[in-house]
Amino acid sequence: MKLSADQDKCIGAGRCVLVAPELFDQRDDDGVVEILQEQPPPAQLEIARNAVALCPAAALFAEDA
């Protein structure tokens, strides 16, 4: 799986970080998402999908490799 984010859509909700703190962080100044691991390890795949599905700004994408 490959994770990506559209930072222009991100509204800094931090939902992704709450769900998957090992995969996402927020920029300090404006809270915009930063991806920590573009390729989540197997144990994090389900969590990654959940984070993508919950993002209220539809700013996250998971492409199945």
41 binds another protein (CB under 8 A): no
> Look-up: residue for tokens 């969590």?
47
23 binds ligand SF4 (CB under 6 A): no
CA 9/CA 46 separation, integer angstroms: 23
With beta carbons less than 8 A apart as the criterion, state whether 62 and 7 touch. no
52 binds ligand SF4 (CB under 6 A): no
Select from another protein, ligand SF4, none the partner in contact with residue 59, using the beta carbon and a kind-dependent cut-off of 5 to 8 Å: ligand SF4
Reference 62, options 52, 8, 15; nearest CA is 52
Contact residues: ligand SF4, CB under 6 A: 5, 10-16, 24, 26, 33, 55-57, 59-60
